[in-house]
Chains A and B, each alone.
Chain A
Amino acid sequence: MRSVPHPVAALAPTLSRRSFAFLTAGAVALGTAGCARDEGPDELEAPWAAARADAATAAAAAGASPDVATRLTPVAEARRAHADALGAEIRRARPDRAEALDAPPPATPPVADPVAALRTSLVAARDAASTLAVTTARYRAGLVASVAASCAGWAEALT
C-alpha cells in the first residue's frame, strides 16, 4: 500500500500553488465531462461498453453450461449493474449521446474458455477504471472506483 506523499495539496486550509493547479484541472475536467454540448464520446462510454459486453459473455456462457453458471451468473449480474450505473450517468451528463447508448449491442461471439476470457476482460476493466477514477471529475470518481473495485474482486474470483 502506498503512502500519501503530498499531504498539503489535498487538505491544506489555504490553497497552495499546487492545489490551485489541481483544482483548476478539476474544473476543466468537470467542464468537459459535464457539458451536454461536448463533441465526441463520453469518457464513460468505453467502460460502459466493456461492462455490457462482459455481461453478455457471462450470461451466454452461464446459459450454455450449468457447470460455469454458478461462477458466471453473479459476474453477469455485477457487470450488468456496472453498465446500468455508467449508462445512467452518461445519459444524465450527455443527453446527446443517447443514440450511442440505445444502439443495439454487438453480437456476442462464442468464446472457447469464457472463464479465462472474462478474467482477462475484468483485469483490463479494473485497470482502466482505476486510472480513470484518478483523473475524472469528482462526482464521477466514486462510481468509477466502485466499478474498478468490483472488477478486481470478480477477476480474483475467476482465478
Chain B
Amino acid sequence: MTSPLDPTATRDAAQGALGAEHAAIWCCGLASAFLPAEAAQPLADAALAHRQRRDALIALLEGAGQRATPAAAAYATPRPVTDAASAAALLVVAEDDVAVAWRAVLERTDDRDLRTTGVAAMTASATVGRRWRSLAGVTPEVPSLPGAAPTG
C-alpha cells in the first residue's frame, strides 16, 4: 500500500531526472563544437527534447511546491572531449544517464502522464543514443536494457 516515503521517493526521482536532463543539455552544447556537420540537426533535435523534458520536470516540481534543482555551471566529463568520437562518447553517457534516471521515476509513480513521459524519454535515449554510439564506436548500438543498473 502507500508508504509515507512514496511521495518523497517520487520527488527525489523526479529531481534526479531533472539533473540528468540538465547534464544532457550541457553535454549537447559541448558536443556541438566537435561533431561533424551532418550530426548538427540530430543533435539540435536531441537538445530540444531534453530542454522540453527539463521544463516539464521544473513545472511538475514547482507545481508540487518543490524547489527544482538548478543546472550546474559545468559538468565533469568522464573522459576528455577532444574530437568527434570523444564528444559522441560523452553523449552516450548523457543519454544512458537520462534512461537510468527516468527508469527510477517510472518505478516510483503510478501517475500515467509521468509514466508516459518516462517511457518516451527512455525510448528517445535508445534511439538517439544509436547515432552517438555509432559515432563513438560503441557496440552494441542499442543497449539490451536501457536504464537498468549495470550488473557488472
Contact = CB atoms under 8 A, between A and B. Distances in A.
A52 interface: no
B129 to A, nearest CB: 7
Interface string A20-53: 0011011100000000000000000000000000
B60 A134 contact: no
B112 A7 contact: no
B148 interface: yes
A19 interface: yes
B93 interface: no
Interface in A135-159: 135, 138-139, 141-143, 145-150, 152-154, 156-157
The secondary structure that dominates the A interface is helix
Given A74-B140, A142-B148, A157-B141, A7 B59 contact: yes
Interface in B28-53: 49, 52-53
Interface in A110-149: 126, 130, 133-135, 138-139, 141-143, 145-149
Nearest to A134: B115
A139 B9 CA distance: 13
Interface stretch (A8-16, A58-66, A92-100, A101-109): A8-16
Contacts, number: 166
A22 B115 CA distance: 12
Contacts of B111: 6, 9-10, 19, 22
A79 to B, nearest CB: 8
B22 interface: no
B88 to A, nearest CB: 16
Nearest to B7: A13
30 contacts: A1-B52, A2-B56, A4-B114, A9-B113, A10-B10, A11-B7, A11-B10, A11-B60, A11-B66, A22-B110, A26-B110, A74-B141, A74-B142, A77-B144, A126-B123, A130-B123, A133-B119, A134-B112, A138-B106, A138-B107, A141-B107, A142-B148, A143-B148, A145-B122, A146-B99, A146-B103, A146-B145, A149-B147, A153-B141, A156-B127
Interface of B: 1-2, 6-7, 10-11, 14, 49, 52-53, 55-57, 59-66, 99, 102-104, 106-120, 122-127, 129-130, 139-148
A3 B141 contact: no
B107 A142 contact: yes
